[in-house]
Structure 1
Amino acid sequence: MLSPMDDYPVHQIAEPIRHVATSDRNFYDRYYFNCYPTESPDVFLIVGLGQYPNLGVMDAFAVLRRGDDHIVARMSKALGADRTDTTVGPLRIEVLEGLQKLRVVLEPGSEYDLSFDITFDATIPAALEPKHFRRQLERVTFDTSRFLQTGTWTGSLTVDGEDFAIDPKTWRGNRDRSWGVRPVGEAEPQGRRAVDGIQNFFWIYAVMQFDEFTISVIMQEDEQGRRIVEEAMRVWPDEARDNEWLGRPEHELTFCPDTRDVTGAR
């Protein structure tokens, strides 16, 4: 099962690019984007696309929040041999310049009142996060890498017949790319793992874009409050300037009494 990428010297294992290094069904390779206007908090767009080589599937979605409404588009298809093909039905992602500029398109359709053609332009270098690894009941359940970027958006967005001009002076967002092994949604087979296999119990992932820099905060804790992965990092636009470690991140959460519903956080 060769693909055009096999013509490039990028192989990591003694297999075609189509085949990943593990046969774990939970191996994935994903894009995530968000897009919002700084002057109007009523509109917020999220887009994602994931490939699952050992399941033979590629999924994608777009969801836009406008006021109290959510408009959602979902699509899925069989994953072919060419993993550089990042088109799923009406949605596609184009890498115009690696680690800098990407185009994200959702063509108009009759099943949803949402379409867009927008281009992300990074304002900081791609920042690699700490490796995320967890073993549960002797099996590796998390073994992932991810990088993040903040940037600006350019293009156009249509919501229920209303057109928005996406101006990079006022539209911002962040994106990440992650890949590896993590639970992908299918239920575990019956047995002990299906009962005792607790997944991420507590997770905070906050990316904050300022005019001069970006701050990324990550905290994951298990069911006993032990840290599994953490990060507090300031990323500067200047590639010659090292990312700045800000120390151990902490959190204070306020819960609704007798529930796990969070009403506030610091």
Structure 2
Amino acid sequence: MLTAQDDLIGHQLPTTFDHVGNSDPAWMERLWYTGHPKAGDVIFDIGLGYHPNRNVMDAFAGVTIGLRQINFRASRRLRPNPLETAVGPLKIEVLEGLKRHRLSLAPNESGLSFDIEFLGTLNAHEEEPHFRRRNGRVTEHMARGQQLGAYRGWIEVDGQRRAIEPQGWLGQRDHSWGIRAEMRTDEAHPPVTFYPPFFYAWTTVQFANKGLHVFFKERAPGEFIYLSGEEVLPLGEKPRAGSRMAGVSHEIQWSNDPHGQTVASATFDVKLDDGSQRLLSIRTLPARYFLKGGLYGGLNGWFHGDDKGKLHVEHDRWHLEDPATRKLARTLCDHVIEVRMGDEVGYGIMEYGVGKGYAKYEQVQQHPPI
């Protein structure tokens, strides 16, 4: 179907913009944002998924304050408005590519609302391609870009409004598109995804005049199945040659958490293409957002891309000291971190998980990794 975007230059297929060049139902496009103050006592997560071969657009927003996590989720039929990035009261607008995005959630029954602007302050990082074939079928073939920046605006929870100022609120966002590997960890609705032994960490950090992206997956210590990262400079500055990541080693210290995998601190020794090294001393801060609240891995039988009808909206509230809630939330989270690199101090987030059989960190492998 024709949309306003079809009046713009940029077509790459002999069809309209609401179609992609692949009929795989796993083809999707996702916008994702998270932000936090430097104190690390609050974190918000926001995401939107475009599923053109399933005729679905879904979205979520959530905030963790102290031991409370509030989750808002929504889904709609994609057509007849396939390129409108809004689902119910949640809307994402790209005001200026790689510079300014507006994120808004109108008042709703969840008690969470906001009007926030992401401000890109550092050059974007283009990840290495993601490609995986299993039993002859392509199960993952996607691209993803990430960017570090700051936020301004406000966020309101249960009538209490908090101002967001770019001097104190940092964050990161990404944009991915293509065939994305299915992740199913909702044990109440099998089949669940099988994972061989692994350890992974996805980490972003921004310092006063640079940022660092570190993403890796291992089957065993030093045995990488994916590696992507880069040291990035302020927006508009020419990228430095040799600044992409060539390798990383790690030591993780785990919290004594009876309910799940929780990193207390970590050391990453990052090697760049030019031969230089970046030694990162990482300390986790209190706030983290468990991504089950945004349907990562599925929740109560609802997975990303599911058709929930013309419009479906729901919300819930989690108390993160409740054992049953932690069992539901599992491990996958955006955890705020403070990072020291020499004399520099930076802030960002870390996602992590270690699976059974990985030859390190056995003390937490009794808990689910994702």
TM-score exceeds 0.5: yes
Given the alignment of the two structures, is residue 14 of structure 1 paired with residue 14 of structure 2, yes or no? Answer: yes
Helix, strand or coil at the partner of 2:64? strand
Q: Which moved more, 1:218-227 or 1:6-15?
A: 218-227
Contact 1:34 1:175 in 2 (8 A): yes
Helix, strand or coil at the partner of 1:13? coil
Give the whole-Å Cα distance in 1 for the aligned partners of 2:206 and 2:197: 26
Contact 1:203 1:220 in 2 (8 A): yes
Give the whole-Å Cα distance in 2 for the aligned partners of 1:233 and 1:5: 32
Helix, strand or coil at the partner of 1:248? strand
Contact 1:95 1:101 in 2 (8 A): yes
Give the whole-Å Cα distance in 1 for the aligned partners of 2:201 and 2:81: 34
Q: Which moved more, 1:75-84 or 1:152-161?
A: 75-84
Shift of the 199–173 alpha-carbon distance from structure 1 to 2, 3 Å rule, reads farther
- Higher relative contact order (Cα pairs below 8 Å, separated by 6+ residues): 2
TM value normalised by structure 2: 0.64
Give the whole-Å Cα distance in 2 for the aligned partners of 1:199 and 1:96: 42
Contact 2:125 2:230 in 1 (8 A): no
Give the whole-Å Cα distance in 1 for the aligned partners of 2:55 and 2:222: 36
Given the alignment of the two structures, is residue 85 of structure 1 paired with residue 80 of structure 2, yes or no? Answer: no
Give the whole-Å Cα distance in 2 for the aligned partners of 1:85 and 1:92: 9
Contact 1:2 1:81 in 2 (8 A): no
Contact 1:3 1:81 in 2 (8 A): no
What is residue 139 of structure 1 aligned with on the other side? 137
CA RMSD of aligned residues (A): 2.6
For residues 215-254 of structure 1, the aligned pairs below 5 Å read: 215-222=212-219, 226-243=223-240, 244-254=243-253
What is residue 328 of structure 2 aligned with on the other side? none
Query: Structure 1 residue 182: deviation in Å?
Result: 1.1
Matched letter for residue 200 of structure 2: W
CA deviation map 1:33-52 (0-9, x unaligned): 011111x3221100000111
Given the alignment of the two structures, is residue 208 of structure 1 paired with residue 236 of structure 2, yes or no? Answer: no
What is residue 154 of structure 1 aligned with on the other side? 152
Residue in structure 2 matching 1:118, options 113, 116, 119: 116
Give the whole-Å Cα distance in 2 for the aligned partners of 1:201 and 1:175: 25
Shift of the 171–185 alpha-carbon distance from structure 1 to 2, 3 Å rule, reads same
Matched letter for residue 85 of structure 2: T
Give the whole-Å Cα distance in 2 for the aligned partners of 1:103 and 1:69: 25
CA deviation map 1:99-145 (0-9, x unaligned): 11000000111x21110000011001222111111111111111111
Shift of the 240–35 alpha-carbon distance from structure 1 to 2, 3 Å rule, reads closer
Helix, strand or coil at the partner of 1:247? strand
What is residue 100 of structure 1 aligned with on the other side? 99
Give the whole-Å Cα distance in 2 for the aligned partners of 1:246 and 1:104: 31
Contact 1:137 1:197 in 2 (8 A): no
TM value normalised by structure 1: 0.87
Helix, strand or coil at the partner of 2:247? coil
For residues 179-198 of structure 1, the aligned pairs below 5 Å read: 179-185=177-183, 198=195
What is residue 69 of structure 1 aligned with on the other side? 68
Shift of the 225–52 alpha-carbon distance from structure 1 to 2, 3 Å rule, reads farther
* Runs of at least 5 residues in structure 1 that lack an aligned partner in the other structure: 188-193
Identity of aligned residues (%): 37
Contact 2:57 2:75 in 1 (8 A): yes
Matched letter for residue 57 of structure 1: V
Shift of the 226–64 alpha-carbon distance from structure 1 to 2, 3 Å rule, reads same
Give the whole-Å Cα distance in 2 for the aligned partners of 1:196 and 1:169: 41
What is residue 2 of structure 1 aligned with on the other side? 2
What is residue 46 of structure 2 aligned with on the other side? 47
What is residue 31 of structure 2 aligned with on the other side? 31
Give the whole-Å Cα distance in 1 for the aligned partners of 2:116 and 2:144: 23
CA deviation map 1:199-256 (0-9, x unaligned): 8944311010111111000102348974222123100015342151243122234568
Count of residue correspondences: 257
Give the whole-Å Cα distance in 1 for the aligned partners of 2:79 and 2:69: 31
Shift of the 199–60 alpha-carbon distance from structure 1 to 2, 3 Å rule, reads farther
Give the whole-Å Cα distance in 2 for the aligned partners of 1:130 and 1:204: 15
* Runs of at least 5 residues in structure 2 that lack an aligned partner in the other structure: 186-190, 268-370
Contact 2:132 2:139 in 1 (8 A): yes
